[in-house]
Amino acid sequence: MVTVYSNMRSPPMVYFLLLYVAGVCPKPTIRNERVHQDPELSDQVHEDAENFQYDHEAFLGKEEATTFDQLTPEESVERLGKIVERIDDNQDQYVTTDELKAWIKRVQKRYIYENVAKVWRDYDLNKDNNISWEEYKQATYGYYLENPEEFQDAADQLSFKKMLPRDERRFKAADLDGDMVATREEFTAFLHPEEFEHMKEIVVFETLEDIDKNEDGFVDEDEYIADMFAQEEGATEPEWVKTEREQFSDFRDLNKDGKMDNAEIRHWILPEDYDHAQAEARHLVYESDKNKDKRLTKQEILDNWNMFVGSQATNYGEDLTRNHSEL
């Protein structure tokens, strides 16, 4: 952790830098956990014969689903109709399984977009609703770059020197059109790369960079253990560490060469588990597709509104008036 200097004067950029360093704002180069798994869509039992609570929470998000209790069936159907128009991404008047899956994933990850919305103004310095690399660099590293003499600690200097090129590399990976100006979606990918398919290689690379202390391009067993446990000289390893060593041998090092390569690191930190959103999207389409053409019209969805929203609704009434780029 970089030291926060309390005696600094704090113009806006400095203040934001201090928040950034202290961990208040999202910090792309620090990871709290290595393994990223998608959680269940709902804690409810998925049993349609009993109720559609699982489907409601999957389709709307848990917190949003609870507010539908305050709406009449007529209001629920009306709002569902507006939601359907947003799900139909290509506006061809049909909702496909892929569009429904994308919607479910987006709703389930809503907190990520809300997080980005909260910090957006701190980075968008010229208020053009985009964030350039230069804006991000100024907002995050400007004070350090202009006043390096105030960062006397060698560890602080090293941290900044490592973070800046690392963030630039990630920014370039998120910037799909290569103009070094991030849209809201690109900036979300920058701050939360594990949630975007095209960013997963950079997540793997950064993990390797963090753990590979001998810089041979692999993670061996000792490096894997050192990332989670600091061994004191002469101390006995606890049982959980011994278990992790077995995990490394049995499940991490797939080709049994004593180390993890990029593919094995990806298998570890980004496991390809059961796709809950895909399964739920297929379920909703199957149950609502009256003519069995494997896609849904707006009317087919509204006819089966009880499965999608039922007697519950969401704050999508408010949501529909918000900036849709935040969702």
**Rounded Cα–Cα distance for residues 98 and 86 (Å):** 14
In a domain, 47, yes or no: no
Lowest mean pLDDT among 67-76, 91-100, 243-252: 67-76
Confirm whether 181 is domain-assigned: yes
Question: 235 and 279 share a domain?
Answer: no
pTM of the entire predicted model: 0.72
Q: Are residues 194 and 116 in the same domain?
A: yes
Quickly state the pLDDT bin for 158 (edges 50, 70, 90).
low
- Is residue 289 in a domain? yes
206 and 191 both lie in a single domain: no
Cα–Cα dist 31/103, whole Å: 27
Q: Are residues 125 and 163 in the same domain?
A: yes
Say if residue 64 is in the same domain as residue 124: no
Q: Return the half-sphere exposure (C-beta side, CA atoms, 13 A cut-off) of residue 167.
A: 24
Residue 171: inside a domain: yes
For residue 92, the SS3 value is coil
Tell me the per-residue pLDDT of 88-98, one tens digit each, with 9 for 90 and over: 999 999 999 99
pLDDT at 63 over 90: no
Do 70 and 87 sit in the same domain of this protein?
A: yes
Please tell me the distance from the alpha carbon of residue 115 to that of residue 132, in angstroms, as a whole number.
19
Asked whether 108 and 119 are in contact (CB, 8 A), the reply is no
- Which CATH number is 127's domain given? 1.10.238.10
Residue whose token pair is 């590979």: 212
Do 84 and 98 have their domain in common?
A: yes
Same-domain pairing of 141 and 217: no
Q: Determine the length of the chain.
A: 327
Last residue of a domain, one of 199, 226, 242: 199
Domain assignment present for 11: no
| Residue 41, domain member (yes or no) | no
Residue 85 placed within a domain: yes
Which domain, by its residues, includes 177?
A: 111-199
Region 172-176: mean pLDDT is: 97
pLDDT attached to residue 36: 84
Strands (E), 57-162: 131-132
Contact 191, 122 (CB under 8 A): no
Q: Decide if 214 is inside a domain.
A: yes
Query: What is the share, in percent, of the chain residues with pLDDT greater than 70?
Result: 83
Count of the separate structural domains present in the chain: 3
| Bridge partners for 259 per DSSP | 220
